């Protein structure tokens, strides 16, 4: 028995997408996004974390992270998708180096049904020479989100992707552009689902293009040995796995598996399993209804007390505190 690990993680961290802005821009123009932590609750009520993305459907523009470590502006071309996984403040503009004061009010989610995406015009020129669709993905980041941990500050896909993925990404961009233009009944739901599919394909494209010597959870998924171990752990997270059992199931020695797994994912195999169990438990507790003892058993703990100690260690809160929000 094996699992589709990426799908398992996307489900457990409750990834959801939302198309928020439909921007037509005429040079010179600039829009600056604040840290997503400042606006996550407004754009995606109840979200632990917000990932921002931009899809350029026409023209070109520049994007730059404007806080923290130095970041060289990146030019986006038509069809490119830019993702800011960790919610850092950034500027999108017609030329590199432009700045603006972030507008927090514009990020307030409309009350009316069908109010998204919000149509905006940027710049003082005439006819728009760029069209950008912007939105957010909400996800849980606590207690454990291995995908978010593995992603860099900035991901750009589109031009330069492999021929196999170029077609898929291009179709998502075309469909997003079509739905924002025509706003047929159900458009908002279609746009949200399209954005989620687009992110999955963007992550797969990014993973396929990782250098062979790169470490991280996504590199682990690609590695034959570590990928096999991850699939087994995700398929049966409640099983009383030992390093010996896992190594035998993978056809490797304990030392080879432990060394390779830790090198790529940053966690020894059994520690990774514990963290993953805590994420599964956090999702179940957030859904409400299930008793703590039942959740403990679902993720492989015979003792409610042992589970509660482990959960508090990794999340900073007891299971009952987590469930009450």
pLDDT confidence bin for 2, thresholds 50/70/90: low
**Residues near 208 by Cβ (< 8 Å), separated by ≥ 6?**
162, 165
Q: Which helix (H) or strand (E) holds 246?
A: helix 243-250
Q: What is the pLDDT of residues 269-304, one digit of tens each?
A: 999 999 999 999 999 999 877 899 999 999 999 999
Q: How far apart are the C-alpha atoms of 19 and 152, rounded to whole Å?
A: 22
CA distances to 127, 167, 318 from 171, rounded to whole Å, are 26, 6, 45
Q: Residue written as tokens 């998708």? A: 81
pTM as predicted:
0.91
Please report, rounded to a whole number, the percentage of residues in the chain having pLDDT higher than 90: 73
pLDDT confidence bin for 161, thresholds 50/70/90: very low
β-strand partners of 31? 92
β-strand partners of 137? 17, 51
Give the count of beta carbons closer than 10 Å to the beta carbon of residue 314: 18
Indicate the CATH number for domain 218-324. Answer: 1.10.10.60
- List the chain domain ranges: 5-209, 218-324
Please name which of 50, 91, 212, 76 lies closest in space to residue 155, comparing C-alpha atoms: 76
The tokens describing 150, both together, are: 């593995």
Please name which of 140, 144, 147, 143 lies closest in space to residue 46, comparing C-alpha atoms: 140
Q: What is the pLDDT of residues 196-210, one digit of tens each?
A: 999 999 999 999 999
Q: What is the pLDDT of residues 15-67, one digit of tens each?
A: 999 989 999 999 999 999 999 999 998 888 889 999 999 999 999 999 999 99
Q: What is the pLDDT of residues 207-264, one digit of tens each?
A: 999 998 899 999 999 999 999 999 999 999 999 999 999 999 999 999 999 999 999 9
């Amino acid at each position: 028995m094996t699992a589709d690990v990426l799908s398992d993680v996307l489900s457990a961290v409750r990834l959801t997408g939302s198309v928020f802005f439909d921007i037509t821009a005429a040079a010179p123009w600039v829009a600056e996004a604040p840290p997503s932590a400042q606006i996550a609750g407004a754009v995606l009520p109840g979200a632990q974390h917000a990932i921002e993305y931009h899809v350029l459907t026409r023209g070109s523009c520049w994007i730059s992270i404007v806080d923290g470590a130095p970041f060289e502006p990146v030019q986006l071309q038509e069809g490119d998708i830019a993702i800011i996984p960790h919610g850092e403040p950034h500027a999108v503009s017609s030329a590199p180096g432009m700045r603006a004061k972030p507008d927090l009010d514009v990020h307030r989610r409309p009350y009316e049904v069908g109010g998204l995406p919000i149509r905006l015009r940027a710049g003082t020129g005439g006819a728009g020479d760029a069209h950008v669709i912007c939105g957010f993905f909400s996800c849980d980041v606590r207690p454990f989100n291995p995908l978010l941990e593995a992603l860099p500050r900035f991901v750009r896909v589109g031009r330069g992707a492999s021929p196999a993925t170029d077609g898929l990404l291009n179709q998502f961009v075309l469909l997003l552009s079509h739905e924002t233009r025509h706003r047929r009944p159900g458009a908002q739901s279609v746009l949200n689902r399209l954005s989620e599919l687009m992110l999955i394909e963007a992550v797969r494209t990014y993973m396929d293009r990782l250098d062979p010597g790169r470490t991280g959870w996504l590199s682990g998924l690609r590695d034959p040995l570590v990928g096999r171990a991850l699939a087994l752990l995700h398929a049966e997270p409640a099983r009383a796995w030992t390093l010996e059992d896992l190594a035998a199931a993978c056809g490797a020695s304990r030392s080879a598996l432990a060394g390779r797994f830790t090198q790529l994912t940053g966690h020894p195999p059994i520690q990774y399993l514990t963290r993953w169990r805590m994420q599964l438990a956090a999702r179940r507790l957030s859904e409400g209804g299930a008793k703590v003892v039942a959740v403990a058993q679902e993720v492989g703990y015979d003792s409610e007390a042992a589970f509660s100690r482990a959960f508090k260690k990794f999340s900073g809160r007891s299971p009952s505190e987590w469930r009450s929000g």
